[in-house]
Amino acid sequence: MLLAACVGFAAFNLGFLDAGALIFKQQALPFVSQFGMALFFVLIGFELRSEFSEGLFRNPKAVFVPATAALLGVLIPAAGYLILALSLGSPSSVISAWPVVT
């Protein structure tokens, strides 16, 4: 998958792909956003289920550190963004973009 991404990136930047590739991108975007993301979250759910039933997270104490890190990894950047945006007097359109930093 990484090799395919590198080949696509190189082909587009070296001029091997034309505007037709952009049309394909516009047609593929709904498919990726609907089915690709659903598949991703289903796979994550299966992985978490196996970790909680037979993996490292069987012990509730082992969940504390990763769960705390995940929670703080979302809250701290969002809070920092909101504090910075509010202190600079940003318009509401900028302030409402706080999920981007998470």
pLDDT digits (tens, 9 = 90+) for 44-102: 999 989 988 998 888 888 889 989 999 999 999 999 999 998 898 888 888 888 888 88
Instruction: State pTM to two decimals.
Output: 0.54
63-102-7 Cα angle (round to 5): 100
